[in-house]
Copies of this chain bind each other. A is one copy, B any other.
Amino acid sequence: MPPKTFDSEIVDFTHAIGLLLRRRRAATGSEDITMTESVVLARLEKDGPSTTADMARAESMKPQSMGATVASLEEMGLVERKPHPTDGRQMNIQLTSKGRALRKSMGDAKRNWLTKVIAELDKDEQQTLFKAGEIIRRLVEQ
């Protein structure tokens, strides 16, 4: 096999991302939450209550898009909104007990295709994926 060109490495990487998304979607049942929703839940658990504007900035999303994500989580009863005590414009978003319970159960690999398949990799490969995630997060800031 001849060595891959840089260009074909990029194509293969792009290909992998596309496959991952479609595979993840196919594995997602109606009772599951989306990738963005799960990241938002994790953030709320880790950093405490926040506003849609703040979360939108953190995720590089438009506030309106984050608003839609939050509205969806609220509809599922996973988060609730409370008026900010002093700033009348803001609404604080926080986890409900149901949301906290879901976060706990998400570590359970059976619930989640991606968690499951990554858990089955050997440690080196897991580290490669996580390291790639770090690199990507840094890349995106440019």
Interface residues of A (CB under 8 A from B): 5-23, 26, 35-36, 38-39, 42, 46, 59-61, 106-107, 114-115, 117-119, 121, 125-126, 128-137, 139-140, 142
Measured CB to CB, the nearest residue on chain B to A38 is: B14
A140 touches B11 (CB 8 A): no
B9 touches A130 (CB 8 A): yes
A17 touches B19 (CB 8 A): no
B119 touches A6 (CB 8 A): yes
The CA-CA distance from A61 to B11 in the complex, in Å, is: 17
**What are 6 A-B residue pairs whose CB atoms fall within 8 Å in the complex?**
A13-B130, A16-B134, A20-B136, A23-B139, A23-B140, A118-B139
A10 touches B59 (CB 8 A): no
* Residues of chain B within 8 A of A126, CB atoms compared: 9
Measured CB to CB, the nearest residue on chain B to A36 is: B18
B7 touches A107 (CB 8 A): yes
* Residues of chain B within 8 A of A39, CB atoms compared: 11, 14-15, 18
> Would you give the shortest CB distance from A72 to chain B, in whole angstroms?
15
Residue from the list B35, B121, B130, B131 in contact with A18, Cβ < 8 A: B35
A129 touches B121 (CB 8 A): no
